[in-house]
Amino acid sequence: MPITRLALPLGDTERPVPDWALRLAKTLPFIVLPHCLWRLPFAVDFRMGMLDPAAPPAPWWIPFYVVGLSVLTEALALLTTGLVSGWGEVVPHWVPFLGGRRVAPLAAVIPAALGGLALVAMFDLYPLAWIGVLPEVGFSNVWWMLLARVCITPAMLWGPIVLVLALAYYRRRRSPR
């Protein structure tokens, strides 16, 4: 089967994207932002009220790791907009060798679904720690604990949102015209 090149504008899609999916994908970077911002003080070894007497001093590379992790988190959240954008259906023309080619639906759905499942596994165990089923890091007072929970809780939605957007993308792209 020959590889076809399409000329969809960057924001257009072959079939209309549901409004709820578009809003959800555009909101996702703001949903994970509190978690990214909460993480940044750890880059300068400020522990945000967390108690861990056995914690050694932070190694020299921690600032780069923490800032890089926050940037990567936001970049991946922004990448999710490909599930509701034209560049998620046709590779942009400026991409070498692949520009203008159609994206196979499963080439987007499989990584999105695996990523969504990984995010659910990473973040959605926090409530078990909060109710005492799993061990939780101690805090110097209730205000630090509340700040941590308020900042982390929205990130628990990241995985389910990616899974829902991947399903919507698959449904939109799989059916015949």
pLDDT digits (tens, 9 = 90+) for 77-91: 999 999 999 989 998
In a domain, 6, yes or no: no
Domain that holds residue 95: 19-49+56-174
Instruction: Provide the number of structural domains found in the chain.
Output: 1
How is residue 90 annotated by DSSP? B
pTM of the model: 0.86
Q: What value does the mean pLDDT of the chain take?
A: 88
In a domain, 157, yes or no: yes
In a domain, 4, yes or no: no
Q: Residue-wise over 85-115: b if at least 16 C-beta within 10 A, else e?
A: bbbbbbbeeeeeeeebebbebeebbeebbeb
In a domain, 28, yes or no: yes
pLDDT digits (tens, 9 = 90+) for 96-118: 988 888 999 999 999 999 999 99
pLDDT digits (tens, 9 = 90+) for 46-77: 989 998 877 788 899 999 999 999 999 999 99
